[in-house]
Amino acid sequence: MPHNKSCKKRLITNKKRNERNRQNRTMMRAKIKTYRSEIEKASTEDKATALTSMYSLIDTQASKGLMPKTRAARLKSRMAAAAAK
């Protein structure tokens, strides 16, 4: 248990950030799974809108530091390839 006042505050803020990051991560993973399952049977217009929404989601999460930029680029590339099939 921390003794200093600043260390106590840091512990509280770390717990809040950890919980927020966990929620964002699970939300992102769930959306990626639904995208992958629904992209095969979607029309071309639906594929384009779904792809742009996934791009914005991934870019937002990467800018927040939830994942590295290279992982975000790899995910976007794989999603574009899946939409092109």
Given phi > 0 = left and psi -120 to 50 = alpha, else beta, which region is 42? Answer: beta
**Tell me, what's the pLDDT at 85?**
84
Per-residue pLDDT tens for 37-51? 999 899 989 999 999
The Cβ of residue 67 has, within 10 Å, a number of other Cβ atoms equal to 16
**Tell me, what's the pLDDT at 5?**
96
Q: What's the domain count of the chain?
A: 1
Distance CA 14, CA 21 (A): 10
Distance CA 7, CA 62 (A): 28
CATH number at residue 71: 1.20.58.110
* Domain around 24: 5-84
Distances 43 to 3, 38, 40, 85 between C-alpha atoms, Å:
59, 10, 9, 11
pTM: 0.83
Distance CA 81, CA 6 (A): 48
